[in-house]
Structure 1
Amino acid sequence: MTTVPAPSTPAAPSPWAMAWRRYRKSRLGVIGGWLLLFLYGLALFSPFLAPYAITTQHEEASYQPPQPVHIVHEGQLRAPFVYGFTQKRDPVTFARKNVEDRENPVPIRLFVRGDEYRFLGIRSNLHLFGVPEGNNFFPLGTDQLGRDLLSRTLVGAQVSLTVGVIGVLISFAIGIVLGGVSGYYGGWTDNLIQRTVEVLLSFPRLPILLALSTLIPAKWPSTWVYLGIVAVLALIGWAGLARVVRGQVLAARGVEYVTAAQAIGARDLRVILRHITPNLSSFLLVTATLALPGYILGESALSFLGLGIKEPMTSWGLLLKDAQNFQTLRLYPWLLIPGLFIFLAVLAFNFFGDALRDAADTQSRG
């Protein structure tokens, strides 16, 4: 007599698999994740993607409007090209105007030689696209000095997007340590740290940012100013996280694995960082993702007000500074394009962070 084997029960999905499944259910979160990958990819390869260096000036192309790409010239299909612009004076106002030259199409070529740059320590002058020497191509137009707005926006992404990442890493390091120490020890240590947190949280964010940014010397080089802005953003960004981490540590310090680590003689800081903090990883990841937009907006606000990134370095906030005049904005609306990148980055981080928060929700039955 043969026995029929019992059907095997499928293995339960791992917590990571369940979290990935919950994340994929958020369409906006997935779109936000892909958009962030795209933006950080642009920032990483910006010297290669940018057709010009950010300091290259074209005096004959001041405030030139964006040049659209065409594929049809005089009724014939052609490879992608653009029409050049020439400057003429208005016979009435004598103001200079950019007039499109439709008789001489300029072909767009891939992998052209141009301004030299350094990428990962390697010098190169190869760019993804460009036009023959003696011609210009400005896909997003130019600023007052004739500098290509696309090149400055792409390179500015390196500053605007990395300020948030580095600032979050610094502020989270401070917040996790101080919040963990506050919740773990309690007593006068807890009172001292929490009173400091309350003082920091009682100040409005923008005024304290402006006050701290004025401490950065104006004579500092651009790299030092960048580090100073990161430090300013990090110094006021750790307080809220420290308060939340304190509550999490208060709840976790009495569980079995913490008691066991203490029983075998583990140091207090090791217990906090190696046993309690890893169990907060999902919470910290979601909090970091949702905090990044604040750092991007903080840097943009400081640079827009002239207290942040300085020339020759560039950022999205610094580029928006050229668009703060209403008359200039009415005449040259393409100067607002860096603001669109800020909007997309902040929106993508919010969508991505919300999706991660739902994915980390272990109580979800979805």
Structure 2
Amino acid sequence: MAQATSLRTNPVLQRFRKHRLAVWGGRILLVLYLMAAFAGFFSPYDPNYYELYPPKGNHPPTRIHFVDPETKRLSRPFVYATKRSIDPVSLQPRYEEDPSQGKFYVRFFVRTPEHPYTVFKVFRSDLRLFGVDPPGRIFLMGTDNFGRDLFSRIVYGGQVSLTIGILSALVSFALGLLLGGIAGYFSGRPFHLSLPPSRWRGLGLVLGPLSFLLWLGLAAAALFLALSFARLSPGKDPFSLGIDALVVLLGALAAGAILYRLFREPIRLDPDDLIMRTVEIIAAIPSLFLLISLRAVFPTDVDPLLTFYLVVGLLGFIGWGGLARVVRGIVLSVREMDYVQAARALGASDGRIIARHVLPATASYVIVSLSLTIPGFILGESGLSFLGLGVTEPYTSWGLLLQAAQQGGFASFTDRPWVLWPGFFIFLSVLSWNFLGDGLRDALDPRRRT
């Protein structure tokens, strides 16, 4: 009782509840994530199930009747079977209700032993929220060009799109907090990098491999540019050949100087400079271009489950820079606080000071930033899948469903607009996350007291 009373009087919770859009955003997200978590229960069919005969490709949403046409009174919800024909003008399939086959009543909590599913890959079940008896079919949002139920595919697609948003944000925030904290706390305290790696100690164990790869990449880039200039040079006269040889020689000398410095002399590196320069390099490249370029490095025919984790890693990798920059600024101010200085005077290690005293000061910003970053990753996954570089069949996502709609051309707008439903769910989830993040920002702002 006392705990419930304290929750009601919590000023942060009170400020959040005053933000009506944030409350509704949280409710919508709760519904979306519950549907995605229990997709098998909420979807009437398996997402990849379709019938060869009678074909149901591009079937419009099924009309649900609540009034019995014979008695003109309210009755149990029911649907009619449909019969398919081809429009002689547009050559598109046309479906008409066929009352001669009888009524198919909508039933709740039905069993489908022919289409079982698993919950969290652990529990096996065949219970579904609603359905109709065969040969009747109920398509709340129509079907795609193969005749697969679009509502079921949207519910299952939410598992991928919504999960990728959270997992990518966690990867991004793990990198951003770690590297941003290191950059801020160890700013002005350079370490010496020398080879072999067995000499790396302390912070060098974390930043040593990164800095080594950067220097090695710089040497390889200098040599590659010189060789590319010589290979692409059109001139064949002695003067042009001499220029090519000079460029290759300069490139080799530059690469040799970098390698000599790397292998013969210790390199003095400031963690702040190293991490922030890396952030600036990533930020200088457009995010979508960088994401497509990194995805193109890997083959497109890899296992679909591996593609899922690959997209998570790529989205997290390109999204940590902004958080690291802000965390660095917060840590730079917090590390000079009296309680941090007292902990250092008492002999606390750097790792303990960062974990117990410095990073907790960034908690409010991290919570707000996390809620505002997730929708960006949802859009990123949707964009990759829309371009054919993200999740592939037999898995599905909202972006992949939009790609299928785009393949239908302008007819997707005129003849079968129901295939655009995945775009609405992308819009709804992104908008809800933004409302929720806006409410959390106002609720956690220490300057707001009312």
TM-score tier, shorter chain, comes to: over 0.9
Task: Provide closer, same or farther for how the CA distance between residues 157 and 56 of structure 1 changes in structure 2, counting only shifts above 3 A.
Answer: same
SS of 1:52's partner is coil
SS of 1:35's partner is helix
Tell me the equivalent position of 2:238: none
Match of 1:34 among 23, 27, 31: 27
Report whether the alignment pairs 1:61 with 2:56.
yes
Tell me the equivalent position of 2:166: 165
Tell me the equivalent position of 2:218: none
Q: Whole-Å Cα distance in 2 between the matches of residues 68 and 251 of structure 1?
A: 62
TM-score, normalised with respect to structure 1? 0.93
Q: Give the CA deviation at 1:91.
A: 5.1
SS of 1:61's partner is coil
Report whether the alignment pairs 1:361 with 2:445.
yes
* Structure 2 unaligned regions, length at least 5: 1-5, 189-269
Q: Give the CA deviation at 1:14.
A: 9.2
Tell me the equivalent position of 1:259: 341
Q: Structure 2 matches for 1:283-298, cutoff 5 A?
A: 283-298=365-380
Q: Give the CA deviation at 1:222.
A: 1.3
* Structure 1 unaligned regions, length at least 5: 1-12
Tell me the equivalent position of 2:111: 113
Q: Structure 2 matches for 1:230-245, cutoff 5 A?
A: 230-245=312-327
Report whether the alignment pairs 1:80 with 2:77.
yes
The superposition leaves residues 63-116 of structure 1 with CA deviations (integer Å, 9 ceiling, x where unpaired) of: 000012211121232101112211023456665321122443211111212211
Q: Whole-Å Cα distance in 1 between the matches of residues 21 and 93 of structure 2?
A: 45
Match of 2:274 among 186, 192, 195: 192
Question: Retained in 2: the 8 A contact 1:316–1:338?
Answer: yes
Q: Whole-Å Cα distance in 1 between the matches of residues 429 and 105 of structure 2?
A: 32
Report whether the alignment pairs 1:347 with 2:431.
yes
Task: Provide closer, same or farther for how the CA distance between residues 14 and 62 of structure 1 changes in structure 2, counting only shifts above 3 A.
Answer: closer
Tell me the equivalent position of 1:336: 420
Task: Provide closer, same or farther for how the CA distance between residues 136 and 193 of structure 1 changes in structure 2, counting only shifts above 3 A.
Answer: same
Q: Structure 2 matches for 1:173-252, cutoff 5 A?
A: 173-187=174-188, 188-252=270-334
Q: Whole-Å Cα distance in 2 between the matches of residues 228 and 194 of structure 1?
A: 25
Task: Provide closer, same or farther for how the CA distance between residues 231 and 73 of structure 1 changes in structure 2, counting only shifts above 3 A.
Answer: same
Q: Whole-Å Cα distance in 1 between the matches of residues 435 and 327 of structure 2?
A: 23
Question: Retained in 2: the 8 A contact 1:71–1:77?
Answer: yes
Q: Whole-Å Cα distance in 2 between the matches of residues 193 and 90 of structure 1?
A: 62
Q: Structure 2 matches for 1:122-137, cutoff 5 A?
A: 122-137=123-138
SS of 1:144's partner is coil
The superposition leaves residues 222-271 of structure 1 with CA deviations (integer Å, 9 ceiling, x where unpaired) of: 11100000000000000000000000000100112211222232221221
Structure 2 counterpart of 1:349, one-letter code = W
Q: Give the CA deviation at 1:209.
A: 1.1
Once superposed, which parts of structure 1, at least 4 consecutive aligned residues long, lie more than 6 Å away?
13-16
SS of 1:143's partner is coil
Q: Whole-Å Cα distance in 1 between the matches of residues 127 and 354 of structure 2?
A: 49
Structure 1 counterpart of 2:35, one-letter code = L
Q: Whole-Å Cα distance in 2 between the matches of residues 15 and 56 of structure 1?
A: 48
The superposition leaves residues 127-184 of structure 1 with CA deviations (integer Å, 9 ceiling, x where unpaired) of: 1111112221111100011000000000111111111111111110100110011011
Q: Whole-Å Cα distance in 1 between the matches of residues 372 and 151 of structure 2?
A: 28
Tell me the equivalent position of 1:51: 44
* Aligned pairs, number: 354
Question: Retained in 2: the 8 A contact 1:323–1:329?
Answer: no
TM-score, normalised with respect to structure 2? 0.76
Greater alpha carbon shift after TM alignment, 115-124 vs 93-102: 93-102
Match of 2:362 among 280, 293, 297: 280
Q: Whole-Å Cα distance in 2 between the matches of residues 95 and 66 of structure 1?
A: 16
Structure 2 counterpart of 1:280, one-letter code = T
| Larger Rg, first or second structure (1 or 2) | 2
Q: Whole-Å Cα distance in 2 between the matches of residues 251 and 359 of structure 1?
A: 23
Q: Whole-Å Cα distance in 2 between the matches of residues 64 and 293 of structure 1?
A: 31
Q: Give the CA deviation at 1:126.
A: 1.4
Task: Provide closer, same or farther for how the CA distance between residues 212 and 21 of structure 1 changes in structure 2, counting only shifts above 3 A.
Answer: same
Task: Provide closer, same or farther for how the CA distance between residues 224 and 267 of structure 1 changes in structure 2, counting only shifts above 3 A.
Answer: same
Question: Retained in 2: the 8 A contact 1:182–1:246?
Answer: yes
Task: Provide closer, same or farther for how the CA distance between residues 291 and 136 of structure 1 changes in structure 2, counting only shifts above 3 A.
Answer: same
Question: Retained in 2: the 8 A contact 1:216–1:228?
Answer: no
Task: Provide closer, same or farther for how the CA distance between residues 92 and 280 of structure 1 changes in structure 2, counting only shifts above 3 A.
Answer: closer
Structure 2 counterpart of 1:106, one-letter code = F
Identity %: 46
Q: CA RMSD in A?
A: 1.7
Structure 2 counterpart of 1:97, one-letter code = R
Report whether the alignment pairs 1:153 with 2:151.
no
Structure 2 counterpart of 1:165, one-letter code = I
